């Protein structure tokens, strides 16, 4: 019931169902992991990490549990913990070079400021990346690259928004466009995707995979402040019911009440 409520964006109902499930069985790894994942989506990343670690406590050999712990640790800004569980995830998968493992490892090194090492790892999964993606992170070492990278990625962005890509490309490219938007200091790219219409999978709103990529991950990432301070983020928070959720259940690590409104860092 909680997972259905999450899919339907009924955040308050989801919270109640998750808490009831945990009351019934606080040692259930799946419930702890799914509740943690839901909290990431609401921007409560430290609480999310707590429940992910509880899931790991009860089921340490589950590869998806380690994947989620690494993800939550990254969201909470703990690069060392993210790297630890990314490594465990790759080992449990029997493939340290699995694209998900490489992505988590790269994120961990970026959090630690180890950009060169992160680029080495990202290059190992370059086959699954757009040709401009690595250059987005090279901008950290050489900001002068930013205008050229944006021009190269513009064509992909236009194809993405016009719905002319193959269906399977939307998930991976959505994540890459969002990551790149932050690195280039161009938050409008993310919101153009979020508020687009008539793309494959749309029915008067954003497709599920884009919600996951931009809202569940990018909006509440440690380096996502450029998005959280954007005026369209405020619109998104209100329209999706997230503001009502925060007022009832607890605020995001990055946002706080400000009179009748709220502010984010």
pLDDT digits 0-9 by tens, 91-110: 999 988 888 899 899 999 99
Domain ranges (residues) in the chain: 129-255
Range in 30-34, 67-71, 233-237, 252-256 the model is least confident about: 233-237
Please report how many Cα atoms fall inside a 13 Å half-sphere around the Cα of residue 124, on the Cβ side: 16
Q: What mean pLDDT value characterizes the chain?
A: 87
| Proportion of the chain above pLDDT 70, given as a percent | 87
Q: What is the rounded distance in angstroms from the CA atom of residue 43 to the CA atom of residue 46?
A: 9
Report the 3 state secondary structure along the chain.
Answer: CHHHHHHCCCHHHHHHHHHHHHHHCCCCHHHHHHHHHHHHHCCCHHHHHHHHHHHHHHCCCCHHHHHHHHHHHHHCCCHHHHHHHHHHHHHHHCCCCCHHHHHHHHHHHHHCCCHHHHHHHHHHCHHHCCCCHHHHHHCCCCHHHHHHHHHHHHHHHHHHHHCCCCCCHHHHHHHHHHHHHHHHCCCHHHHHHHCCCCCCCCCCCCCHHHHHHHHHHHHHCCCCHHHHCCHHHHHHHHHCCHHHHHHHHCCCCCEEEECCEEEEC
Please report how many Cα atoms fall inside a 13 Å half-sphere around the Cα of residue 177, on the Cβ side: 26
Instruction: Report the pLDDT value the prediction gives residue 97, as an integer from 0 to 100.
Output: 87
Q: What's the pTM value of the predicted model, to 2 decimals?
A: 0.87
Mean pLDDT value of segment 231-253: 91
- Among 26, 46, 24, 23, smallest CA distance to 36 is for 46
Instruction: Report the pLDDT value the prediction gives residue 98, as an integer from 0 to 100.
Output: 87
Taking the alpha carbons of 218, 219, 225, 230 in that order, is the dihedral positive or negative? positive
In whole angstroms, how far apart are CA 22 and each of 26, 113, 190? 4, 37, 35
- Residue 171: pLDDT band (50, 70, 90) is low
Give pLDDT tens digits for 207-228: 554 555 555 678 898 999 999 9
In whole angstroms, how far apart are CA 19 and each of 23, 36, 143? 6, 11, 46
Give pLDDT tens digits for 47-92: 999 999 999 999 999 999 999 999 999 999 999 999 999 999 999 9
By the 8 A CB rule, do 154 and 185 touch? no
**What tokens appear for 135 in the block?**
């250059």
- Residue 262: pLDDT band (50, 70, 90) is very high
């Amino acid at each position: 019931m909680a997972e259905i409520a999450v899919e339907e964006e009924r955040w308050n109902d989801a919270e109640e169902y998750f808490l009831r499930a945990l009351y019934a069985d606080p040692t259930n790894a799946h419930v702890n992991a799914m509740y943690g994942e839901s909290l990431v989506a609401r921007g409560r990343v430290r609480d999310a990490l707590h429940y992910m670690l509880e899931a790991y406590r009860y089921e340490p050999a589950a590869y998806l549990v380690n994947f989620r712990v690494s993800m939550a640790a990254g969201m909470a800004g703990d690069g060392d913990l993210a790297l630890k569980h990314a490594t465990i995830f790759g080992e449990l998968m029997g493939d340290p070079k699995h694209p998900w493992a490489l992505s988590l490892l790269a994120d961990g090194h970026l959090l630690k400021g180890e950009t060169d090492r992160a680029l080495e790892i990202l290059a190992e999964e370059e086959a699954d990346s757009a040709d401009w993606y690595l250059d987005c992170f090279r901008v950290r070492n050489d900001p002068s690259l930013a205008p050229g990278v944006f021009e190269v990625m513009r064509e992909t962005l236009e194809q993405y928004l016009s719905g002319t890509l193959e269906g399977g490309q939307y998930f991976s490219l959505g994540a890459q466009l969002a990551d790149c938007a932050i690195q280039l200091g161009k938050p409008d790219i993310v919101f153009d995707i979020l508020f687009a219409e008539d793309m494959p999978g749309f029915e008067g709103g954003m497709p599920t995979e884009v919600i996951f990529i931009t809202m569940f991950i990018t909006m509440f990432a440690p380096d996502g402040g450029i998005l959280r301070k954007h005026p369209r983020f405020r619109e998104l928070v209100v329209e999706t019911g997230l503001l009502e959720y925060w007022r009832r259940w607890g605020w995001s690590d990055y946002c706080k009440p400000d009179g009748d409104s709220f502010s984010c860092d």
